């Protein structure tokens, strides 16, 4: 595993020891307003850092962006930080990845966007996830929103794997049920898309199947009982394994469309995946009815044909909207979403090849209306 994993209730109170192991002296903590004011585990982390805390950058909003990353990197440089500690969901972690790149190389994050162009390790980066969704703590990708082009762009590089991921269930007890549900469905999507990817392999399959077992059993419990530390712990590990799976196997058309929906219509990432996934699975099954047999095996279903229905039931059980219409997306936006999806790299790994926006328009209309 390229990222050191630490798991345990209260583990966030001892991040200073992880800094020592990385040879770091001063940290910038990157987070958002919600996490920074939630108290509890976050306060414990701050106290534990003591004199090694160079500052708290709490300016991350929904989706990482160029300006926010550059501002965070400036704050880190001014504080003399030699370590970035990200505490949050996917947007915070991806912002942390960006800051660690700019702190090392200078300039703006715009100058460093690309695929495997970074030379050598970046500024050490420790991640504490506060959602059981993104898996970004163990991936080599940062998804960054370009507000000028209204597109989500990928920074994909083997040198942006975080150094250490600290999985502490206590960080999740304040997560509201609706966010538990949508981010959890992102993890479910990572596992299922890793299992149908053209890059799938025995290693990613193993990670994805165990991720699905954990998420299937424990996500509804975490949703219903936010303070249940066992459920929070199992889903944290589940989303982490799903992150490991898709870092190896990549994702697919569902993520390509979700990125398009995020860029064009600002639909939150997990919710976009949750709405699209059952439809994308049925679309893919038209070419291969056996495609989801491994998903069925992991979830204890009779056959792969039941898998899309299982995903839809899970979303309904957690009271998530299940159509783009109900999520507030204008039908007129679908054309632009299709174009954005077809320029997204994730589409390349979908088992059913798609190339032109017109090919997915009937699918998008179905996802919009829900039938």
Residues that bind Fe ion (CB under 5 A): 186
- The residue among 54 and 244 lying less far from Fe ion, judged by its C-beta, is 244
Q: Which residues pair with 167 in a beta bridge?
A: 7
**DSSP per-residue string spanning 117-163:** ---S--S-EEEEESSSS--GGG-SEEEEEETTTTEEEEEE-GGGS-S
Q: How far is the CB of 191 from Fe ion (least distance, A)?
A: 11
Residue that the structure tokens 């589940």 belong to: 238
Q: How far is the CB of 137 from Fe ion (least distance, A)?
A: 13
Which residue's beta carbon is nearest to the bound Fe ion?
Answer: 186
Do residues 4 and 37 touch, judged by C-beta distance below 8 A? no
User: What's the length of the chain?
Assistant: 371
- The residue among 272 and 329 lying less far from Fe ion, judged by its C-beta, is 272
C-alpha to C-alpha distance for 235 and 215, rounded to whole angstroms: 6
Q: Which token pair is 138? A: 């163990």
Q: How far is the CB of 33 from Fe ion (least distance, A)?
A: 23
Do residues 260 and 364 touch, judged by C-beta distance below 8 A? no
Q: How far is the CB of 47 from Fe ion (least distance, A)?
A: 32
- The residue among 168 and 186 lying less far from Fe ion, judged by its C-beta, is 186
Residues 6+ apart with CB under 8 A from 332: none
Q: How far is the CB of 193 from Fe ion (least distance, A)?
A: 9
- The residue among 128 and 272 lying less far from Fe ion, judged by its C-beta, is 272
Residue that the structure tokens 């190339």 belong to: 355
- The residue among 164 and 183 lying less far from Fe ion, judged by its C-beta, is 183
């Amino acid at each position: 595993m390229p990222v050191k994993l630490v798991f345990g209730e209260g583990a966030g109170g001892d991040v200073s020891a992880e800094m020592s192991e990385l040879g770091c002296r001063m940290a910038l903590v990157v987070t958002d307003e919600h996490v920074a004011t939630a108290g509890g585990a976050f306060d414990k982390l701050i106290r534990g850092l003591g004199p090694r805390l160079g500052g708290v950058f709490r300016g991350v909003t929904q989706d990482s962006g160029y300006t926010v990353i550059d501002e965070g990197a400036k704050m880190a440089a001014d504080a003399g930080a030699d370590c970035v500690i990200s505490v949050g969901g996917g947007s915070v972690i991806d912002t942390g990845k960006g800051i660690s790149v700019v702190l090392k190389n200078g300039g703006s994050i715009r100058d460093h966007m690309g695929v495997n162009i970074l030379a050598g390790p970046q500024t050490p980066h420790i991640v504490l996830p506060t959602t059981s969704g993104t898996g970004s703590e163990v991936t080599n990708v940062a998804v960054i929103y370009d507000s000028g082009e209204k597109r989500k762009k990928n920074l994909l590089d083997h040198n942006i794997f975080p150094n250490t991921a600290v999985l502490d269930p206590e960080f999740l007890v304040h997560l509201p049920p609706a966010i538990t549900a949508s981010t959890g469905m992102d993890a479910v999507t990572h596992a299922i898309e890793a299992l149908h990817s053209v890059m799938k392999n025995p290693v990613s399959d193993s990670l994805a199947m165990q991720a699905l077992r954990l998420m299937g059993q424990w996500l509804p419990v975490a949703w219903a009982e936010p303070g249940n530390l066992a459920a929070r712990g199992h889903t944290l590990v589940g989303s982490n394994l799903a992150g490991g799976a898709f870092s190896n196997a990549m994702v697919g058309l569902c993520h390509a469309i979700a990125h398009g929906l995020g860029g064009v219509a600002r639909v939150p990432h997990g919710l976009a995946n949750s709405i699209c996934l059952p439809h994308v699975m049925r679309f893919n099954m038209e070419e291969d009815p056996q495609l989801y047999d491994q998903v069925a095996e992991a979830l204890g279903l009779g056959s792969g044909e039941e898998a899309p229905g299982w995903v839809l039931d899970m979303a309904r059980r957690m009271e998530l909207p299940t159509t783009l219409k109900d999520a507030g997306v204008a039908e007129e936006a679908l054309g632009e979403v299709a174009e954005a999806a077809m320029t997204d790299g994730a589409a390349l790994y979908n088992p059913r090849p798609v190339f032109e926006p017109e090919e997915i328009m009937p699918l998008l209309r179905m996802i919009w209306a829900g039938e």
